[in-house]
Amino acid sequence: MQGVQGNRNEISQNLENKARLLVKCPDKPGIVSVLSTFLFKYEANIIESSQYSSDPEEGTFFIRIEFHCENLQQKSPMMEQEFTQIANEYEMNYQFYYLNRRQRSAIFVSKELHCLLELLWEWQNGDLETDIVAVISNHEDARSIVESYGIPFHYLPANKDIRQEVEAKQITLMEQYHVDLLILARYMQILTPDFVDYFENRIINIHHSFLPAFIGANPYDRAYKRGVKLIGATSHYVTNDLDEGPIIEQDVERVDHRDDGATLKKIGRKIERRVLTKAVKWHLQNRIIVENNKTIVFH
């Protein structure tokens, strides 16, 4: 694991002059010009830019800009200070993200490990722009796998009777690890409103896309008995409306009468793995802007 960490340190150094700027504001003429002029003033080169307007007349404007700027670490305090004036004038919600500062993620998991394994594989390959700093579970099933990657594993039994007590311990752990993103990789516990509010738009969940049909246990068996022809998965940010947060990514596959409940579940797990991984990658790449209960995703 030392070699992997060494590669990550080298990557971080190579990214020290790169950053991303995300902006959301009322749409009006001249916004792109103002942003590009601002970056040009600091001799920044725009590498990638994506924009979207909900309506050119009184709509909302969204933009994601990735740029390179020599001596960015020295320039960034002055850039951010000056940008507040532009933000005030154009009523902007905005955020600068510096690529040499890797986000820190924690994964919550229960007994089904397929999504966790996919994330660990992508992380080991260097395809997730994050440091996975801890895995938290209400079961011991994942311990040996997680610890083989050199990642701390924390077993915290949880149920509805001790939910607040457990969440207090989880929040303490998240603070100790300075966690930026929580990934629910098939974590089968309902989170309290206080916990969700503490990590607003920083918890990503995955579930099958049958909802609101087939709520509860054994959804694939019941889907088979109903004769469904499409199954899928949905990844979304967690809100206090259960499984109704802003959707980040969805995918489906066709099935037919020959696919029994076990086969449907196997196919569903494959979809869950790729949908969750895409959502996590897009979050880490700062490609998502949340607008009310939907997302703008710059692919």
Say whether 27 is catalytic.
no
Tally the C-alpha atoms within 13 A of residue 194's C-alpha that lie toward its C-beta. Answer: 8
Which H helix or E strand runs over 74? helix 72-90
Distance CA 197, CA 274 (A): 27
What is the C-alpha to C-alpha distance for residues 149 and 191, in angstroms, rounded to an integer?
Answer: 27
Nearest to 109 by CA among 225, 205, 213: 205
As a whole number of angstroms, the distance between CA 108 and CA 170 comes to 10
Point out the catalytic residue in the list 141, 243, 251, 259.
243
Between β-strands 130-137 and 60-69, what pairing exists: parallel, antiparallel or unpaired? unpaired
Q: Which residues are catalytic?
A: 243
